[in-house]
Structure 1
Amino acid sequence: MTSPRSRDLLERLDRACDDLDDLAFDAAWHDAVAGLGIVDAVREVLLPYLRLLGEQWERGTRSVAHEHFASGLSREHLLRVVGAAAEPVDGRPSVLVACPPGERHDLGPLAFATLLVDAGWRVDFLGADTPLVTLARACQLSRPDLVVVSGTRTTVLEARTSAWRRLAEDTVVVLGGAGATEALAATTGLTCLDADVGVALSQVDALVRQRTAG
């Protein structure tokens, strides 16, 4: 359950988007991070707000301009956090985060990448619609401890099951996003991350520790 403070910050983001006021949007985001920390700012404010924005867009109470405004500013803020962890640091686990071919919604995985940075991971974020050859090459070059592949639809994840299994021969591969269902986990034999980002962080940490110990 979100706190009154989180709800107030969410409402500030919503008002800023309604007015297309980038300064007010930025101020609300910075206040969320300063007051709640990056994890709760993402979990209790930004992600719920983006879900609300999607619902508003479906109802026709927000335009494409509003969606582009909010998603663009959100992406900018999150990329700043991820970019701060771009340089390798000895001893930190590394992760590649990507969306499969055909998946253009990358704010969810970008938000998760931000939380991984805060938890001490070194993150390479490949973004939306990542070609399989690009993902495979990135794995060869960086040899990550973990690969997170995120999709909003089960079909875009399931269609590349053989590719995920090949990657899983050399590293830990997990599936995330709304498309990562229990049924998909049973079909692929891979771990699907919980919808709660806090639980998902615990999942990936446990998986990498288990592989390292083994």
Structure 2
Amino acid sequence: MGVSTHVLRAWESRYNLLDPVRSPGGYRLYGTDDERRVREVLALREQGVSAMEAARQVLAAERAGAAAAMGALADGDLPADVGQSARDTMRADPPVLVAQLLDAVTALDEDRAHAVLDTAFLDRSVESAIVDVLVPFFVRVGEMWELGRIGIAQEHFASSLVRRRLGALSLTWGIGTGPVAVLACPPGEFHDIILLGFGVLLGRAGWRIRYLGPDTPVASLASAADLTRPDAVVLASRRPSGFRAHAPALRRLAQAHPLWLAGRGTTPRVLEEIGAMHLGPDLVADVALLTAAARDRRRAREESHEAAHEESGASADSEPRS
């Protein structure tokens, strides 16, 4: 396969990619599954994927396939005339993925939940996985909790599971020269997963993210905004009271920085009291809206600076010379 023993051992120890057995003499013996994984990693490496990411993708696809097979056995085998492409489409269909994820979370089955997430992120774009799978999933989790169909344990399990997955996608938030966004939830608001997902989408659109997270004091948010001079401050809450309880401070913040409110707590009355702008439930459209607004603000600043420079030059030319 053209891979040295040293590399094979590194992939085994670092990524758990291989599972060899020992011969009576103590030598490693690799099986057909090991060979297949190595070949798949090498194929991804040729496409420019790092060894770590390639190993993750290979193992994720394997887990997803195992989970799908278990689901088929539990529900009865699919008809023989259903082709492989149709099976793959069914596995990657967002409503199916949401249902599978809910089942896994209800059972507190971490391996199965990760397998479903692997399928979502491997078979779909990151944007689609977040917008079409994770957002509807958390809406359903909230509904099921309110109806008493799941408990606090399942809700916390779901949040922890997805937070870790989204956290891995946030590692490049501080890189680049794009616009800056400060993201937070007001005091008393602890549900920030959708805001975190929005941060991932912004980051993939070139934004640099300063994520303050849940239960952020408004004074701390204002200090962060003054320090970073962001192109957008996004504050999310599920309840209007999360905003209205801090209306005077948020009004001052909106006068100093471009403040956008998001979540179910964003009512017309709240927007009027605070003087902020509104982000709706369509996360992809919101990314485009913030990006356009940041571009317009920067263009306006540049034009203002140019006008001031021209005025200064004109004033200098009009001064009498001695």
| 8 Å CA contact retained: 2:176, 2:206 | no
TM-score calculated relative to the size of structure 1: 0.90
> Counterpart in 2 of 1:89?
176
> Counterpart in 1 of 2:142?
54
Over 4 Å off, 4+ runs: none
> Counterpart in 2 of 1:77?
165
Query: What is the CA-CA distance between 1:123 and the residue it aligns to?
Result: 0.8
Of residues 108, 127, 131, the one that matches 2:217 is 131
Larger Rg: 2
- Count of residues in Structure 1 that have an aligned counterpart in Structure 2: 210
| 8 Å CA contact retained: 2:174, 2:209 | no
Letter in 1 for 2:225: C
Alignment deviations for residues 184-203 of structure 1 (CA, whole Å, 9 cap, x no partner) = 22332211111121222222
> Counterpart in 1 of 2:279?
193
> Counterpart in 2 of 1:39?
127
Alignment of 1:1-214 (within 5 A): 5-82=93-170, 84-90=171-177, 92-214=178-300
Q: Which runs of 5+ in 2 are unaligned?
A: 1-88, 301-322
SS of the residue corresponding to residue 225 of structure 2 reads helix
Alignment deviations for residues 127-186 of structure 1 (CA, whole Å, 9 cap, x no partner) = 111012221222232222111011111111122233233223443110011111233223
SS of the residue corresponding to residue 174 of structure 1 reads strand
Distance 1:160 1:176 in 2: 15
| 8 Å CA contact retained: 2:251, 2:273 | no
Distance 2:224 2:152 in 1: 33
SS of the residue corresponding to residue 260 of structure 2 reads strand
Letter in 2 for 1:189: G
Query: What is the CA-CA distance between 1:26 and the residue it aligns to?
Result: 1.4
Query: What is the CA-CA distance between 1:65 and the residue it aligns to?
Result: 1.2
Distance 1:191 1:169 in 2: 11
Distance 2:222 2:276 in 1: 17
Letter in 1 for 2:221: L
> Counterpart in 1 of 2:28?
none
TM-score calculated relative to the size of structure 2: 0.61
Q: Which runs of 5+ in 1 are unaligned?
A: none
| 8 Å CA contact retained: 2:233, 2:258 | yes
Distance 1:189 1:198 in 2: 24
Query: What is the CA-CA distance between 1:115 and the residue it aligns to?
Result: 1.1
Higher relative contact order (CA 8 A, sep 6+): 1
Computed over aligned residues only, the root mean square deviation of the Cα atoms, in angstroms, reads 1.7
